[in-house]
Structure 1
């Protein structure tokens, strides 16, 4: 069993570890992360950086097990109407927010509608027309049309239940001060301290509605952006768990550490894709022939086999290749430099062009390394690429969400169902300035909108697959994005931990059952 070591000091230099200032005989889990969250409210922000702490701070109506089966959480049971146009949530009694206020159906209704209005995944709750609250423990979600992904959307990382008495004060929920300080949550852990870029300290909520949980007294999420320092912390036992590891070199190094277990389990619902995104409204990239030329110049096989040392797999389209909805007939854009040059000539750029590529800060393998490869590879077809770095995630997100980019590397999740994780990138009505991981490519095709909107309400599996196949063929021609590889996420954790996060959402799931063995 491990006991509490509090990390409150300010890191000086990338290699310096946060210094312990106090000791307490409490069970503590230290999670190492390269991610820097802007805030902690998953109702209005997607991504790993927010989701890991948000799912500890806020409970959701449902949670999911390793077999993709929904399980009770704040909703002890639920019923779907025969016509598929309503879902009734029967809430547990006695659940409270961290300030002691009861969690009611009004909070559930407020939370889902707030998420619908503010979250970048607009398609996730788009069919929700309203939520009836006949009593304090019953919420009836009303739909304008069937929604095959609704139950999955009620998962922890996607539907946190936030307090109406805090967030219903008229302030903009996206910039609400309680997103970062004095957070009042509904989940197994309470916020004690949030120092952006350093650490998030979470304390056990003693009145959590599931008896005997959480098992840990404290969770510390330490931000260690320098990968070498992070690996040293894991090797030395100064950190206990490192989720979302994607660097092949890091994964192999951690596999050699005797006291660590390293697994790829826990990411089935995520469907992470590493890709190159185009700003389709840029004068240089608005011509599809330029985007296709770039696709013909990039070698996926070299990236996955050489740069990623065979750890990652090529990805040819917008739906993860492990999904039954993936269309294997999608054009692969095999490397053809002569064809790429001819397309550049046709587009009026026979003399070449200058482009800037950004990349998501974090693991170098998937992002910076590929961006630097693009610099050399695209030079072969007359494109001079400048690689632009960002000091942290918020800086990168600000640039990309406000269209201040030409090319950018990115990692985007399918989120279990295309309605949740795929539609947001390609729907015209999801072009939302200032919102990251929406349609930041500013891509618009009415036929794509029609196909995705039809697939979003189609319950017949075969018909749904056909709609998605046609969608994939169109975007493979239009290329708002060039898909490169599936991200090989792994979790490294101390072998003495019990119940590590191996469900479909990994660490973007409540860690209320994780514990130290005696």
Structure 2
């Protein structure tokens, strides 16, 4: 086995966790480029794609962002070691002034969407309009969501982009577009520590405006979007934001191919619900990260042992599971297997829901915040974190430890300093006696029912639940198994009281964890609100001194532990498992998109 070192910091994107007949395997000659026959690879992943717009609160998931990574190019990318790199073949961006902070984005002349429409400043403007929230006419905390879907419900006729950004809200003036329509200039009201990561290009402006406003011509649609933004036309922007929020959600190949455009190496060709998606090389792509393999098919199965069997049968060529001892041992028996192990930029955690009238919500106790806090503290005091690590993670990574920080990864700058003062030591030992005492002080009698959601068919999470249930029962809690195959879509819908899942990093940005904990943040799925936390993250956004950044994060974490909103568990062990005779040139990344990183260097074998 090969190993890769850990680099990561922070976490943001939710890591969400079947199989069809395999495509015909290409020959060895095809992999070397000595044949005109197309090359192909089959990749295994654990959760199906369900939204083309990974920037919405609904679509913000690894299941979607990994696919979009193959389909969309960007101004920047993060390499295998977690360092940001400019992608000048797509376009350029540069800081042209420190005071005020001014950043200029210019799209390259030959960068286009797969329908031939040029990517230009209109697309960058849409990214600003959505991410900044400065055009919204209804505040995020006033938006009601549908209980079944979690989608915005009371925004009709209002401008509301269902996303958030740490830095773009500081760009309050509408950005200027150059005369040639290729450059957009952002002027910030105040400095922002992670300005390099602010613009993420994922949604075509011409399609969004066309569908929202009923305009067929791509240029006319872009012109209409630009005018709506510049004029702050509430009627037009309400339609644009509404379509942006939900118009790109689908679980099978859309009839309207405009909803699956690409600006990157691959184009969506076929999408069978809950089975597989096939991507083909984008003939209009002229960037540096061109597809080295003609066709990729991603096949979904949440059972990693089934994926091992699929690898052995030749149905898939590579996969990266939530690895367990059984999976690693089974994979090692497959002829020709290559396994690269390491640690991912993803951490497991358990969250308690504060706004669903459940056992951790003050509303269940007549608004008594102190009583609800004691119940949460009682629950967390009985979570067997060390047992989970010892039994499920150490057999794969002998050096694994309990993670004790919400914002920093063990081994990265500031971790030890934060842990020493954040209050995590209060939960270092399982203490059912303390739990019972806290419940007694809260005046809660009898076992407390707690619905625990996790990914159905996820073996490691099922094992975690089996360790949690008896430990919490001893403390006075009755855990109800609320596993769900659609748990990612259900996040934030109020149908569960506690949830176990992972946050995955896309970048090493220091402000990345903000949306998870600030009031109304896109990743704040539990209804948490703390004025001190909000204020500290506001300060962090503009702080460039690393020592002060760590001090701010320590202050944040003190509040998180004091409020007992949940617990961190462990850093994910990683295993990229492949058939070495079928695919080479792999360089899986520590941060997202992990397995899919460096696809432009892959080579298909026999």
| TM above 0.5 | yes
Task: Indicate conservation of the 8 Å contact 1:414/1:422, yes or no.
Answer: no
SS for the counterpart of 2:284 is coil
Aligned counterpart, 1:484: 569
**TM-score of the superposed pair, with normalisation by structure 2:** 0.74
Q: Partners of 1:25 and 1:485 in 2: how far apart?
A: 45
Aligned counterpart, 2:579: 494
Choose the corresponding residue for 2:113, options 97, 105, 108: 97
Task: Indicate conservation of the 8 Å contact 1:273/1:320, yes or no.
Answer: no
Deviations 1:209-232 (CA, angstroms, capped at 9, x unpaired): 126821110110111233332110
SS for the counterpart of 1:191 is strand
Task: Indicate conservation of the 8 Å contact 1:357/1:388, yes or no.
Answer: yes
- Which structure has the highest strand share of the two? 1
Would the alpha carbon gap of residues 320 and 491 (structure 1) be closer, same or farther in structure 2, given more than 3 Å must change? Answer: farther
Would the alpha carbon gap of residues 256 and 342 (structure 1) be closer, same or farther in structure 2, given more than 3 Å must change? Answer: same
SS for the counterpart of 1:43 is coil
Choose the corresponding residue for 2:468, options 374, 381, 396: 374
Question: What is the Cα deviation at residue 109 of structure 1?
Answer: 2.0
Aligned residues: 487
Q: Partners of 1:162 and 1:110 in 2: how far apart?
A: 8
Would the alpha carbon gap of residues 222 and 305 (structure 1) be closer, same or farther in structure 2, given more than 3 Å must change? Answer: same
SS for the counterpart of 2:568 is strand
Q: Partners of 1:251 and 1:153 in 2: how far apart?
A: 38
Deviations 1:297-351 (CA, angstroms, capped at 9, x unpaired): 1121110111334435311121233332431213231212211211111111243
**TM-score of the superposed pair, with normalisation by structure 1:** 0.86
* Farther off after superposition, 338-347 or 410-419: 410-419
Aligned counterpart, 2:192: 147
SS for the counterpart of 2:69 is helix
Aligned counterpart, 1:6: none
Q: Partners of 2:288 and 2:569 in 1: how far apart?
A: 45
Aligned counterpart, 1:5: none
Unpaired stretches in structure 1, ≥5 consecutive residues: 1-13, 431-436
Aligned counterpart, 1:514: 602
SS for the counterpart of 2:117 is coil
Q: Partners of 2:321 and 2:171 in 1: how far apart?
A: 32
Choose the corresponding residue for 1:280, options 354, 370, 380: 354
Q: Larger radius of gyration, structure 1 or 2?
A: 2
Choose the corresponding residue for 1:397, options 484, 488, 491: 488
Deviations 1:386-415 (CA, angstroms, capped at 9, x unpaired): 11121x23xx23433222211111212244
Question: What is the Cα deviation at residue 75 of structure 1?
Answer: 4.4
Relative CO higher for 1 or 2, CA cutoff 8 Å, sep ≥ 6? 2
Q: Partners of 1:85 and 1:508 in 2: how far apart?
A: 34
Would the alpha carbon gap of residues 146 and 363 (structure 1) be closer, same or farther in structure 2, given more than 3 Å must change? Answer: farther
Q: Partners of 2:207 and 2:390 in 1: how far apart?
A: 50
Residue 209 in structure 1 maps to residue 250 in structure 2: no
Residue 441 in structure 1 maps to residue 526 in structure 2: yes
Task: Indicate conservation of the 8 Å contact 1:167/1:173, yes or no.
Answer: yes
Q: How does 1:236-251 map to 2 (within 5 A)?
A: 236-251=313-328
Q: Partners of 1:42 and 1:508 in 2: how far apart?
A: 16
Residue 33 in structure 1 maps to residue 45 in structure 2: yes
Task: Indicate conservation of the 8 Å contact 2:122/2:181, yes or no.
Answer: yes
Q: Partners of 1:246 and 1:421 in 2: how far apart?
A: 26
Q: Partners of 2:339 and 2:559 in 1: how far apart?
A: 39
Choose the corresponding residue for 1:262, options 339, 360, 363: 339
Question: What is the Cα deviation at residue 378 of structure 1?
Answer: 0.6
Would the alpha carbon gap of residues 468 and 508 (structure 1) be closer, same or farther in structure 2, given more than 3 Å must change? Answer: farther
Question: What is the Cα deviation at residue 422 of structure 1?
Answer: 1.4
SS for the counterpart of 2:37 is strand
Would the alpha carbon gap of residues 123 and 481 (structure 1) be closer, same or farther in structure 2, given more than 3 Å must change? Answer: farther
SS for the counterpart of 1:225 is coil
Deviations 1:464-492 (CA, angstroms, capped at 9, x unpaired): 11111111111111121221111223322
SS for the counterpart of 2:67 is helix
Unpaired stretches in structure 2, ≥5 consecutive residues: 1-17, 27-35, 134-160, 213-239, 362-371
Question: What is the Cα deviation at residue 244 of structure 1?
Answer: 4.7
Deviations 1:155-206 (CA, angstroms, capped at 9, x unpaired): xxxx234321111232512321586521112111011011221111100012
Residue 220 in structure 1 maps to residue 309 in structure 2: no
Q: Partners of 1:349 and 1:108 in 2: how far apart?
A: 53
Deviations 1:45-77 (CA, angstroms, capped at 9, x unpaired): 222110111111111111122341323245443
Choose the corresponding residue for 1:364, options 452, 459, 463: 459
Question: What is the Cα deviation at residue 32 of structure 1?
Answer: 0.3
Q: Partners of 1:412 and 1:457 in 2: how far apart?
A: 24
- Which structure has the highest helix share of the two? 2
SS for the counterpart of 1:471 is helix
Q: Partners of 1:410 and 1:359 in 2: how far apart?
A: 7
Q: How does 1:101-112 map to 2 (within 5 A)?
A: 101-112=117-128
